[in-house]
Chains A and B, each alone.
Chain A
Amino acid sequence: MKAVVKKSQNVIRGKVYILGDNIDTDLIIPAQYLNLVPTIPEEYRKLGSYAMAGLPDTYRRFVEKGKEKSEFSIIVAGKNFGCGSSREHAPVALGAAGVKAVLAETYARIFFRNAVATGELYPLETKKRLCDVFKTGNEAEIDLAAHTVTNLTTGKVFEFIPPGAVAPVIDAGGLFAYARKMGMIKTVDRCQVSGVSNKKTRVRGQRSGGGKRKAESRKSGRRKRA
């Protein structure tokens, strides 16, 4: 589920889930679920069902038991959102759970880049600390053109920092879609990055529709501790 928003709308509307500072990738998707491969469709959905499963049990569940999607499509957080691992499973789990945007004061570098590269969600930087102003369950509306978020429950409007250079990448649906759109990857069977000359960048092959992979035979317990 890419966070592609129709140009005519430029609006994301949904329920808000509140988090604080330093929300790390182990909270977003605990390591025990990293055996799931994001490019396999059923495992992508499974990752969504585990989004924010690392939060302490004192938190309200982000995804209800037995569900694949969260009722919350907007996360509002504090500083350094997504710190820790480079696991792309993190923005993927949020995107798969139906999150369209995160509004945080700042982001950890790799999470931000992965969110943009996958096109899973908009990582938006707020001017104010909104996690103290919004409440979990509030309805919010993000206007990507006006760079504002409105708390529909309270009626208050806040600005966020325009996403700048990364917005078109997310709009396009991620790094590859953007690279193709911009002609940076010219063709699939003769892939070249424009602006950089290197004859080795040629890639042969046909494009396939999806990332499906056939199931392989399983051998359990084969690599037990020696």
Chain B
Amino acid sequence: MASTITEKILARASGKKRVDPGENIWVNVDILLTHDVCGPGTIGVFQREFGKTAKVWDPNKVVIIPDHYIFTKDEKAHRNVDTLRDFTKAQKLRWYYDVDTPKYKGVCHVALPQEGHVRPGEVIFGTDSHTCTHGALGAFATGIGNTDAGFILGTGKLLVKVPKTLRFTLNGKLPAYVTGKDIILRIIGDIGVDGANYCAMEFRGDAIAALDVEERMTICNMAIEAGGKNGIIEPDAKTLAYVRRRTKQKFEAVYGDADARVEKEWKYDVSTFEPCVAEPHLPSNYARAKDHSNVKLDRAYIGSCTGGKLTDFIMAARILKGHTVKIDTFLVPATCEVAEGLIRERIDGKSLVEIFADAGCEDIAPPSCAACLGGPEDTFGRTHGKEVVISTTNRNFIGRMGSKDAPIYLASPLTAAASAITGRITDPREFM
């Protein structure tokens, strides 16, 4: 019988011929990802349960990327990074991207694929709900808590329930003003914040094939905002080229069967899609950008694992070039690689850094999660009052960016940039 890509990856990882939705199986883990916010607790669980001197199951498969609370005076945040460093040393872990060193990367979900740790067909668990990002490269990837992660550290395995698959087939030609962010906000708007609870969200179709890898990551990144267990896109030539450029490690890509049974399928013609926002306080509050041009803004924020990749900044720069922002505009590249790209990439002879400076944006911040999730009081871009924010991040919950009184509109980099110029929610077509 036919199987989906998610089922096939999980079957292989569990040593079974096939698995079915609802089945509970033990899978072997290829990569465990953790960071400074959940890493210390995970290490705490591991040492409590397996012993102070216990060794992790495989020092080559644990990837630690501090990214959340880095550029802060918060002492506990520093203590937490110290904990990661000490653990790495004691365990002789191979992959630790330490703060204050040339190895520092930034946001884990952009750094993980950039550093070649995401490979098609593999099983990735991370102590962060946006671990689902990595399905964009044809891996099974999902978020877990510290206790499950501590269990993996000791055993290399985890018990998982095979999810049902919801299939989203997106065909048609994507207009230049519509982005991966608009696609996923539209889908979440249609199915709701729990519309994919416990399910795999599989994205396919001509429109997905036409997207580059980073835009696919934006889509899979937000699978969790519909409750999805994982987001996944079958690998193609673009995927394989991206991965091979970044790792020499061998992998075996997995593909689903065309006739695999899925729980439900949605079909979209993306040529009808429009630039949109998610209104406060849920990612499912879909609205067309042009229908909210009366909403005045105080701040634009471009950054995070969702909207802080190089393609996101290129999109924003295309809109901002030759214009001046009317509101405070914060730019946080997700990783050092993205930050380097801002200097290297040029539009009509000008670097992105120059374009942003000319437009009057705030000085570009060093890579980290920054204000995407609020964090310590001194976090760059964090809200403290009643700021109305348009943001390329993934969550607009109450208080998400710091202040409970600061409403957040989620949008694409195009829409965020256009809105920064006018100071109100703006359809990017006004500047294209």
Contact partner of A22 among B50, B148, B282, CB < 8 A? B282
CB-contact partner of A27 in B52, B54, B155, B397, under 8 A: B397
Name the segment of A112-120, A122-130, A137-145 touching the other chain: A112-120
Are B100 and A86 in contact (CB-based, < 8 A)?
A: no
Contact A26 B373 (CB under 8 A): yes
B222 to chain A, nearest CB (A): 12
Whether A203 and B154, one on each chain, are in contact in the complex, defined by CB atoms closer than 8 angstroms, is yes
In whole Å, how far is A139's beta carbon from the nearest beta carbon of chain B? 29
Interface residues of A in 183-207 (CB under 8 A from B): 185, 188-189, 191-193, 195-196, 198, 200-201, 203-207
- In the complex, whether A153 has a CB less than 8 A from a CB of chain B is no
Contacts of A218 in B (CB 8 A): 75, 78-79
A73-115 contacts to B, CB under 8 A, are 79-80, 83-89, 91, 106, 108-110, 113-114
Q: If A56-B398, A205-B50, A225-B365 touch, does A83 touch B147 (CB 8 Å cutoff)? A: no
B49: A residues at CB distance < 8 A = 176, 185, 188, 207
Q: Taking CB as reference atom, which chain A residue is nearest B27?
A: A196
The reply to whether A216 and B79 contact each other, CB–CB distance below 8 Å, is: yes
Of the four ranges (under 10, 10 to 19, 20 to 34, 35 or more), the interface on chain B belongs to 35 or more
Q: Which residues of A lie under 8 Å from residue B128 when comparing CB positions?
A: 85-86
Number of A-B contacts (CB under 8 A): 223
Q: Which residues of B contact A193 (CB under 8 A)?
A: 26, 155, 157
- Cross-chain contact B52 with A205 (CB below 8 angstroms): yes
Give the chain B neighbours of A191 by CB distance below 8 A. Answer: 50, 54, 154-155
Name the residue of chain A whose CB is nearest to the CB of B77: A35
Q: Is B76 an interface residue (CB 8 A)?
A: yes
Nearest-CB distance from A190 to chain B (Å)?
11
Q: How far is the CA of A114 from the CA of B198 in the complex (A)?
A: 14
- Known A220-B73, A220-B75; judge A211-B45 contact (CB<8 A): yes
Residues of B within 8 A of A37 (CB): 40-41, 44, 76, 80, 83
A-facing mask of B6-36, CB < 8 A → 1, else 0? 0000000001000000000010100000000
* Interface window among B116-124, B295-303, B375-383: B375-383
Mark A159-199 against chain B: 1 for CB-CB distance below 8 A, else 0.
00000000000000011100100000100110111011010
Q: Is B374 part of the contact surface with A, judged by Cβ < 8 Å?
A: yes
CB pair B37–A216 under 8 Å, yes or no, is no
Q: Are A88 and B52 in contact (CB under 8 A)?
A: no
**Which residues 134-188 in B have Cβ within 8 Å of A in the complex?**
143-148, 150-151, 154-157
Over the window 61-93 of chain B, the binary record of Cβ atoms lying under 8 Å from chain A Cβ atoms (1 yes, 0 no) is 000000011111111111110110000000000
Would you call A60 an interface residue if the criterion is a C-beta within 8 Å of the partner chain's C-beta atoms? Answer: no
Chain-A contact segment, one of B212-220, B257-265, B399-407, B420-428: B399-407
Tell me, rounded to whole Å, the shortest Cβ–Cβ distance linking B21 to chain A: 14
Instruction: Report how far A175 CA is from B44 CA in the complex, Å.
Output: 15
Q: Chain A residues near B155: list those with CB within 8 A.
A: 185, 191-193, 201, 203
A24 at the interface (CB under 8 A from B): yes
Chain A positions within 8 Å of B53 at CB level: 204-206
A1 within 8 A of B: no
CB pair A118–B147 under 8 Å, yes or no, is yes
Q: Is A222 an interface residue (CB 8 A)?
A: yes
CB <8 Å contact, B145 and A210: no
* B350 CB–A CB distance under 8 Å: no
B-chain residues with CB within 8 Å of residue A196 when the two chains form the complex: 15, 26, 28, 157
Beta-carbon nearest neighbor of A120 in chain B: B147
Asked if A6 lies at the interface with its beta carbon under 8 angstroms from chain B, I say no
Report the minimal beta-carbon distance from A77 to chain B, rounded to whole angstroms: 13
Neighbour of A223 across the interface among B55, B78, B79, CB < 8 A: B78
Q: A57-B404, A207-B51 are in contact. Are A221 and B73 (CB under 8 A)?
A: yes
Q: A37-B44, A109-B198, A204-B55 are in contact. Are A226 and B157 (CB under 8 A)?
A: no
Q: How far is the CA of A31 from the CA of B69 in the complex (A)?
A: 10
Contact A88 B38 (CB under 8 A): yes
A87-B398 CB under 8 A given contacts A38-B146, A57-B404: no
- Contact present for B402 and A86 (CB under 8 Å): no
- Residues of A with C-beta under 8 A to B397: 24, 26-27, 54, 84
Q: Which of A32, A113, A195 contacts B145 (CB 8 A)?
A: A113
Q: Which residues of B contact A36 (CB under 8 A)?
A: 76
What 0/1 pattern do residues 245 to 256 of B give for CB contact below 8 A with A?
A: 000000000000
9 tightest CB-CB pairs across the interface, nearest first?
A39-B44, A205-B51, A205-B54, A88-B145, A114-B145, A86-B143, A35-B76, A117-B147, A205-B53
For the A-B complex with A31-B373, A203-B54, A226-B366 known, give 6 more contacts whose Cβ atoms are closer than 8 Å: A86-B143, A110-B144, A176-B147, A201-B154, A223-B71, A224-B73
Can you list 11 A-B contacts with CB-CB less than 8 angstroms, sorted by A residue number?
A27-B399, A30-B374, A32-B375, A106-B197, A176-B147, A179-B151, A188-B50, A196-B28, A201-B155, A204-B54, A223-B100
